[in-house]
Chain A
């Protein structure tokens, strides 16, 4: 009932921090080591000769170019869809919102082959065929971009949704009181605040698109010098038992991804969006 009844609390002893950091280091280190070990194993299965030969082959050079360009295009397209979609879902209530949210998850949960098959069938329906009269899609380059976009965009949308959710709407509301309309508040306040999220969405979409294979194999086929992206090359080399070349191409893919993603992060984080413009 009284304060004096209990024994005095022992003084808060500051325990050393090292077990905590050691725990962090061990747990994260295990994963990093795991990735590095895979890379090292890959390296043991190829040689500089195979790498050079891969880089010299016109088919593989074409695949590198197609991969890089189509991924970048997919990324931009995804952002164009993901930013408004994420903003809409985060800031507004409307009938059918839950349904829309659920539909946006479908490309993430569907097996890649099913996405490819669905695209293939979609473009054989009468409207799909009509469109193909104008632009050939199936088994042509647009199908590669569409297949990548179908999946990558869903990831970008998720990221943008989380980003806008985490940004307090207060600043936008202040902007509204200061005379901005909704559009100005979005462009001048919300979007610059979402810069990091935008960058994450872009890198995620780009990386996702680069690794995309299942839908491309079905919807775009594996035609050399036409719809061959880097994962297709790996598949083709594996299917004739040329594991060395498959590994070499995989390493090229990893290198390309690391370079592009590192550059994007450096560039994107250093320069605020306003200054980029």
Chain B
């Protein structure tokens, strides 16, 4: 063999050897470790500044559940740019709210779980040699100040906004010696002594034993929340969400955040499969069931839904039952247990109707027609059911109730009961909701009632004592989503939910 060929084959062989050197440990590793866990690791884009608590929590999680979380670090903004270009990854943890908001506005994030709060402080060398106590001290000629760039890092942006508001920004900006790309660069500068003071997050400063932090009142209002988001296109959303729940659990991941001097939010309790109890008015079942099913699959939780007349549900709550959330048939019932719940949101509404046999053989067209002798009428129970209660109020207001009583053949706790009874032919008319009628419109006719009270609003509220406030808030998001709206509307409900205007 001649020399040129030896050179060629030699270099190719060397390359092959190097490639083998890269791959064989990677191949042998999974076989060497847990043989049972065939799960693919989760890929999480994580702000570099948060690596300490996240790495610890990810390690705990792998120990406990055998699921590896690959952490890919970078600046929050740089990672966000990456997310927009590539189509991989399961989770995104930005150093602060603004990036999470941007990512959500771009449609990149599904669920968002809050983790910890942080606020800007002034970091100085331990012992505070330059005696920096106030914002005004930063403008002394002998003090060199570092700060993160307001265009690049959100602490810069937050502080600038806050100070511009107070009219103090221009004076300070003139005295800033250096603007750095990230908050850690600023803290590093203070540690190295290249600046005397740096404006950083409190959690950042507390990770440096060499630094001392000075709190100043104008910054206190500028606190922010660090949140983790599940990527919309994650192929393993359920697994990703489970890790995010672990990270945001007050007795798991958030403990790690606390260890590293973050100020954790009041997170949910940890459970591998949270068991939830939802009390719901029976009329809501057709519009709600599929949403709940999908929510359980995605979140890996189990929801025990108790459907019943709202009077019964409220009585059970009064007797000491504490469901995690309550989806009420009507505002009046929600109001009667308001002390047990966080402020409710109105989700759907439902119109009252006179439901009669097909082709309306008895010619019943108004409430007054129901007083005709011989009409067999069914009403929802006015004590056990929200609907019955509203109907009763309406009839009393119209002074029709006493006239109707002789015709009242039955009072049932829920609208469904009445529908069954009229379908068997034992009743001539019932008063129930549009949604009760939707499923049987081929067999029964309905006459709308025109009256201000003839409309029930269904609010949802999260229990004050629930162990899973954030999970229940996500359930609220699912119930108020566009998909849920379509389901409710197809069942004859009207849509009431108004998204809160963003701050």
Question: Can you sample 16 A-B contacts with CB below 8 Å?
Answer: A65-B21, A69-B21, A69-B22, A73-B18, A80-B11, A221-B74, A222-B72, A222-B73, A236-B73, A239-B49, A239-B182, A240-B49, A240-B52, A241-B191, A243-B191, A277-B6
Whether B18 pairs with A76 at a CB distance below 8 angstroms is yes
**Would you list which residues of chain B between 176 and 224 have a CB under 8 Å from chain A?**
182, 184-185, 187-188, 191-192, 204, 207-208
Determine the chain A residues whose CB is within 8 A of the CB of B74 once the complex forms: 217, 221-222
Q: Which 10 A-B pairs have the closest CB atoms?
A: A239-B48, A187-B4, A221-B72, A222-B73, A73-B18, A223-B72, A239-B184, A277-B3, A241-B208, A76-B15
In angstroms, how far is the closest chain A Cβ from the Cβ of B190?
10
- Asked whether any CB of chain A lies closer than 8 Å to the CB of B28, the reply is no
Determine the chain B residues whose CB is within 8 A of the CB of A222 once the complex forms: 48, 72-74
**Would you list which residues of chain A between 218 and 235 have a CB under 8 Å from chain B?**
218, 221-224, 226, 235
A68 to B4, CA, bound (A): 27
Number of A residues near B (Cβ < 8 Å) is 36
A123 to B288, CA, bound (A): 42
Known: A76-B15, A241-B188. A277 touches B7 (CB 8 A): yes
14 new A-B contacts at CB < 8 Å, known A139-B88, A217-B74, A239-B73: A139-B86, A141-B23, A191-B7, A221-B72, A222-B73, A223-B71, A224-B55, A239-B51, A239-B184, A240-B51, A240-B184, A241-B188, A241-B204, A274-B3
A193 to B447, CA, bound (A): 100
Contact size range, B = 35 or more
A223 to B79, CA, bound (A): 12
- Asked whether any CB of chain B lies closer than 8 Å to the CB of A79, the reply is yes
Interface residues as binary, A71-93 with B (CB distance below 8 Å gives 1, 0 otherwise): 01100110110000000000000
Determine the chain B residues whose CB is within 8 A of the CB of A188 once the complex forms: 3-4
Interface residues as binary, B82-118 with A (CB distance below 8 Å gives 1, 0 otherwise): 1001111000000000000000000000000000000
Determine the chain A residues whose CB is within 8 A of the CB of B81 once the complex forms: 117
Known: A69-B22, A139-B72. A76 touches B11 (CB 8 A): yes
A235 to B204, CA, bound (A): 16
Interface residues as binary, B239-261 with A (CB distance below 8 Å gives 1, 0 otherwise): 00000000000000000000000
Residues of B at the A interface (CB closer than 8 Å) are: 3-4, 6-7, 10-11, 14-15, 18-19, 21-23, 26, 43, 45, 48-49, 51-52, 55, 70-74, 78, 81-82, 85-88, 182, 184-185, 187-188, 191-192, 204, 207-208
In angstroms, how far is the closest chain B Cβ from the Cβ of A73?
4
Chain B minimum-CB-distance residue to A184:
B4
Determine the chain B residues whose CB is within 8 A of the CB of A262 once the complex forms: none
A139 to B192, CA, bound (A): 33
Determine the chain A residues whose CB is within 8 A of the CB of B18 once the complex forms: 69, 72-73, 76
Chain A minimum-CB-distance residue to B190:
A241
Whether B48 pairs with A73 at a CB distance below 8 angstroms is no
In angstroms, how far is the closest chain B Cβ from the Cβ of A116?
9
Chain A minimum-CB-distance residue to B182:
A239
In angstroms, how far is the closest chain A Cβ from the Cβ of B129?
19
Whether B51 pairs with A238 at a CB distance below 8 angstroms is no
In angstroms, how far is the closest chain B Cβ from the Cβ of A142?
9
Determine the chain A residues whose CB is within 8 A of the CB of B45 once the complex forms: 221
Whether B85 pairs with A224 at a CB distance below 8 angstroms is no
In angstroms, how far is the closest chain A Cβ from the Cβ of B330?
51
Whether A79 pairs with B11 at a CB distance below 8 angstroms is yes
Determine the chain A residues whose CB is within 8 A of the CB of B4 once the complex forms: 187-188, 191
Determine the chain B residues whose CB is within 8 A of the CB of A72 once the complex forms: 14, 18
- Asked whether any CB of chain B lies closer than 8 Å to the CB of A120, the reply is yes
Whether B51 pairs with A236 at a CB distance below 8 angstroms is yes
Determine the chain A residues whose CB is within 8 A of the CB of B52 once the complex forms: 240
Whether B15 pairs with A240 at a CB distance below 8 angstroms is no
A120 to B86, CA, bound (A): 7
Chain A minimum-CB-distance residue to B87:
A124
Chain A minimum-CB-distance residue to B18:
A73
- Asked whether any CB of chain B lies closer than 8 Å to the CB of A159, the reply is no
**Would you list which residues of chain A between 121 and 152 have a CB under 8 Å from chain B?**
121, 124, 138-139, 141
A128 to B15, CA, bound (A): 23
Partner of A138, one of B15, B70, B78, B86: B86
Chain B minimum-CB-distance residue to A70:
B22
A79 to B73, CA, bound (A): 32
Whether B71 pairs with A224 at a CB distance below 8 angstroms is yes
Known: A124-B85, A274-B3. A141 touches B71 (CB 8 A): no
A221 to B26, CA, bound (A): 18
A66 to B26, CA, bound (A): 11
Determine the chain A residues whose CB is within 8 A of the CB of B192 once the complex forms: 243
